[in-house]
Amino acid sequence: MVDEEDLRDLIPSYAYISLARRGMEKISLDQCFLKDCDNQDPKLLQPFKKEEYEEEKKEIKKIHIKCKKCHGIFILKLETLKYVAKSTKNEEEEPLSMGLVYALDENGNSLGHIGYF
């Protein structure tokens, strides 16, 4: 039995999409990524399962989420690089963007790269 609130804590609130020369756009991850569904209500999204594993240089978390609007299931795949290059010039500097988020359907087929977190 997994705690739904704990799973929710694993999901970043936002992802950032690079818009080439126009900077970054921030999008909420509290939405259903399935085709033809426009659910953006976190109350209608129920995380119910997680998988965690490591690949070379990456930590991967998959959060399975049930959408109560379209009754579909999708997976948010969060990839975190284990070693992030830090600038040596300035210790205060934030590490580079190090997380990637993808959406997958119930069968693990990619629905696309969502952005960075």
Binding site for Zn ion (CB under 5 A): 32, 34, 37, 39, 67, 69-70
**What is the distance in angstroms between the CA of the first residue and the CA of the last residue of the chain?**
28
- The CA radius of gyration of the chain, in Å to the nearest whole number, is 15
Query: Please, which residue, 4 or 93, has the CB nearer to Zn ion?
Result: 4
Q: Could you tell me the smallest distance in angstroms from the CB atom of residue 2 to Zn ion? A: 21
Query: Please, which residue, 40 or 87, has the CB nearer to Zn ion?
Result: 40
- Amino acid identity, residue 41? D
13 SS3 class = coil
Dist CA 93 CA 15 (whole Å): 20
The phi and psi torsions of 96 (rounded to 5 degrees) equal -65, 160
Q: Could you tell me the smallest distance in angstroms from the CB atom of residue 82 to Zn ion? A: 32
Query: Please, which residue, 15 or 32, has the CB nearer to Zn ion?
Result: 32
Q: Could you tell me the smallest distance in angstroms from the CB atom of residue 103 to Zn ion? A: 11
Contact 40/30 with Cβ under 8 angstroms?
Answer: yes
DSSP state of 70: T
Q: Could you tell me the smallest distance in angstroms from the CB atom of residue 36 to Zn ion? A: 8
